[in-house]
Amino acid sequence: NAGVMQNPRHLVRRRGQEARLRCSPMKGHSHVYWYRQLPEEGLKFMVYLQKENIIDESGMPKERFSAEFPKEGPSILRIQQVVRGDSAAYFCASSPKDRSYSYEQYFGPGTRLTVT
């Protein structure tokens, strides 16, 4: 049973470019969460999605960031016009189908975004 998959593992973008981060949840999981870890800090919640639905985006910056989890395919975290402050590790997690088990979140290996 494959775990949470994220790609790419490393992404380098110049200021002003777009970054697209992908996440495939564990088999049987339909809830996806994105977290960001800045250097020397803990993980910070960004957004919680179900298929075709955003449940909670209270941690998303108001501009340039968006997330989706389409009916088919992986979840995508999109950052437009990246700035140096976006450089961080972005982690995706998934949890089982029943929302009452949303505390059981399993993490992927992360995408390390570097903005030059």
Partner 1 sequence: DQQVKQNSPSLSVQEGRISILNCDYTNSMFDYFLWYKKYPAEGPTFLISISSIKDKNEDGRFTVFLNKSAKHLSLHIVPSQPGDSAVYFCAGHNQGGKLIFGQGTELSVKP
Enumerate binding residues for partner 1 (CB under 8 A): 4, 6, 31, 33, 35, 41-45, 48, 55-56, 58-59, 91, 93, 95, 99, 102-110, 112
- Let me know: does 83 contact 90? Beta carbons within 8 Å: no
Q: How far is the CB of 21 from partner 1 (least distance, A)?
A: 13
Q: Cβ closer to partner 1: 13 or 31? A: 31
Q: How far is the CB of 44 from partner 1 (least distance, A)?
A: 7
Residues 6+ apart with CB under 8 A from 82: 13, 14, 15, 16, 17, 18, 19, 64, 113, 115
The two structure tokens encoding residue 63: 């501009």
Q: Cβ closer to partner 1: 17 or 57? A: 57
Q: How far is the CB of 15 from partner 1 (least distance, A)?
A: 24
* Residue 69, amino acid: F
Which position has the token pair 């989706």? 68
